[in-house]
Copies of this chain bind each other. A is one copy, B any other.
Amino acid sequence: MSPEAFRAAGYAAIDWIVRYLEQIESYPVRSRAEPGQLRRRLPRAAPEQGESFDDVLRDLDELILPGITHWQSPGFFAYFPANSSPPGILGELLSVGLGVQGMMWVTSPAATELESHVLDWLVGALGLPEAFLCTGAGGGVIQDSASSAALCALVAAREQTRGEGGLRRLRLYASTQAHSSIAKGAKIAGFEPDQLRLIEVDDALAMRPDALAAAIEADVADGVRPCFVCATVGTTATTAIDPVPAIAEICRPHGVWLHVDGAYAGSAAICPELRWVNEGLDQVDSYCFNPHKWLLTPFDCTVLWVADRRPLIDAMRIDPDYLHNAASASEAVIDYRDWHVPLGRRFRALKLWTVLRSYGLQGLRDHVRRHVQLAQQLAERIDAHPRLERLAPTRLGLVCFRLRASDEDNQRLLDALNDSGALYLTHARVHDRLFLRMAVGGRLTEARHVEAAWAQIVSRVGDPG
């Protein structure tokens, strides 16, 4: 592809994305594809000769689009949002255009320094503890997901304590509502299932500090070593908030690593009035949240912060001769290869930088506030409806509700809504009851889309009366 052909194809790709986003409401939100539908329509082998980019764009429309579930649709209320945005798209484009691999400072100093810098910006913008600044003893790093970030925190905690009797003697703690990535990380890190204790929650589905304290004390009495606690700020099922200050007080005397998973809720701290999500973070060892969820930065962009970077680096560092260089030896620079699982890394800071600069903090606050307000209005409507009930407080953008009926009736309601193509919700289960989750958080989601979703719900459960 010559430079001029690349330019023309690049313009065509930009036009394609502009048109896609303009037309996005015309597609069924959840794809209606059948298993195997795309594969049956694709050639059995890769082409011998190169094809034109026009052909690729045509197939994107005709073959790929019917198999897309439209995460950027304003009718996407499933899981949690994974927001893209024009500045974020362009940041990713510039990053892949530069094509640098920032495994170490020397392999592109700007990739490392922009990352440290924008993460320090976020510490200020979100009101996070100064211990998280890269200019001090701690620091932040961009990873692909909260799963990988939790794994890194877990491994750092494990390496700090395994000397005291070996891996088998360590114990981990998270609430019954913690994300599945904690159990997955524990498994990957070599723990047996019985080493992860799932702590009971209270009526608000938050971890009970008394139950955590009892579990830790019982383990100490049994001669095993409490190693790691994960507290969740904004659980997946209902955005429940574990009491981080009380949990930190329990961890401290036992030298237990406290990790906080704020994957979804962490973005809320951009708004001063929602900064209660940060409560207790000045007492934790590590914290992660996902700008790719609610802060308009395209997936993937998770930030992991540590109050002290030494244990993380000690746990992750392998130092072969072929990576030695003068800058690393000077210890005047950060080499992010030692802050996560992979060696190589993309220049992901660029998209976070284009997002922060293009929206400014005020633009990001407007975005988060709009969703919280829309979710609140929806919650009020649900409360006023005799056949519906809410399952949990609506403090952020997630509304959890159910029909006052059987699980089967709720599953049928969910399926009917999703089959309509107008919206996409998902479910969860607490206290052994199935409920519907409606996560309001799309960049394009406005009041009229929540109205339309409500109309879809009411058309199936009846008017409020």
Whether A214 sits at the interface, judged by CB under 8 Å, is no
Chain B residues with CB below 8 A from A70, complex form:
100
B64→A114 contact, CB < 8 A? yes
Whether A38 sits at the interface, judged by CB under 8 Å, is yes
Chain B residues with CB below 8 A from A158, complex form:
190
> Which residue of chain B is the closest to A69 with respect to CB atoms?
B108
Q: What separation, in Å, do the CA atoms of A11 and B88 have in the docked complex?
A: 15
Interchain CB contact (< 8 A) of A89 among B82, B96, B145: B96
A18→B22 contact, CB < 8 A? no
A341→B343 contact, CB < 8 A? no
> Which residue of chain B is the closest to A87 with respect to CB atoms?
B1
Chain B residues with CB below 8 A from A343, complex form:
145-147, 180-181, 184
Interchain CB contact (< 8 A) of A35 among B94, B105, B188: B105
Whether A234 sits at the interface, judged by CB under 8 Å, is no
A9→B86 contact, CB < 8 A? yes
A358→B53 contact, CB < 8 A? yes
Q: What separation, in Å, do the CA atoms of A33 and B362 have in the docked complex?
A: 33
Give A66-105 as 1s and 0s: 1 = Cβ < 8 Å from B's Cβ atoms.
Answer: 1111111000001100111111111011101111110001
Given contacts A36-B113, A45-B121, A121-B46, contact A53 B318 (CB under 8 A): no
Q: What separation, in Å, do the CA atoms of A20 and B327 have in the docked complex?
A: 26
Q: What separation, in Å, do the CA atoms of A13 and B88 have in the docked complex?
A: 12
Given contacts A45-B125, A50-B358, A108-B68, contact A180 B35 (CB under 8 A): no
Chain B residues with CB below 8 A from A181, complex form:
318, 343
Chain B residues with CB below 8 A from A187, complex form:
155, 159, 315-316, 318
Stretch at the interface among A203-211, A388-396, A422-430: A422-430
B114→A342 contact, CB < 8 A? no
In this complex, which of A89, A121, A428 has the most chain B Cβ atoms within 10 angstroms of its Cβ?
Answer: A89
B92→A96 contact, CB < 8 A? yes
Give A110-121 as 1s and 0s: 1 = Cβ < 8 Å from B's Cβ atoms.
Answer: 110110111001
B50→A113 contact, CB < 8 A? no
Give A1-40 as 1s and 0s: 1 = Cβ < 8 Å from B's Cβ atoms.
Answer: 1010111011101111110111000000011010111110
A230 to chain B, nearest CB (A): 14
Given contacts A93-B89, A321-B429, contact A82 B99 (CB under 8 A): yes
Q: How large is the interface on A (under 10, 10 to 19, 20 to 34, 35 or more residues)?
A: 35 or more
A157 to chain B, nearest CB (A): 12
Chain B residues with CB below 8 A from A9, complex form:
86-87, 90
Interchain CB contact (< 8 A) of A37 among B14, B31, B109: B109
Chain B residues with CB below 8 A from A253, complex form:
none
Chain B residues with CB below 8 A from A333, complex form:
35
Interchain CB contact (< 8 A) of A31 among B1, B14, B110: B110
A342→B117 contact, CB < 8 A? no
Given contacts A87-B53, A363-B50, contact A69 B100 (CB under 8 A): yes
> Which residue of chain B is the closest to A182 with respect to CB atoms?
B318
B50→A116 contact, CB < 8 A? no
Q: What separation, in Å, do the CA atoms of A113 and B7 have in the docked complex?
A: 29
Instruction: Report, nearest first, the 5 A-B pairs whose CB atoms are least far apart.
Output: A190-B190, A67-B110, A84-B99, A17-B97, A10-B14
Give A contacts to B, CB under 8 Å. 1, 3, 5-7, 9-11, 13-18, 20-22, 30-31, 33, 35-39, 42, 45-51, 53, 55-56, 60, 63-72, 78-79, 82-90, 92-94, 96-101, 105-111, 113-114, 116-118, 121-122, 124-125, 144-148, 151, 155, 158-159, 166-168, 179-181, 183-184, 187-191, 236-237, 292, 298-300, 315-316, 318-324, 327, 330, 332-333, 341-346, 350, 353-354, 356-363, 426-429, 437
CB-defined A-B contacts under 8 Å, sample of 19: A1-B358, A7-B15, A7-B18, A17-B94, A46-B124, A46-B360, A50-B359, A63-B110, A68-B98, A69-B108, A82-B344, A84-B99, A89-B99, A93-B96, A155-B188, A188-B316, A236-B322, A237-B322, A322-B427
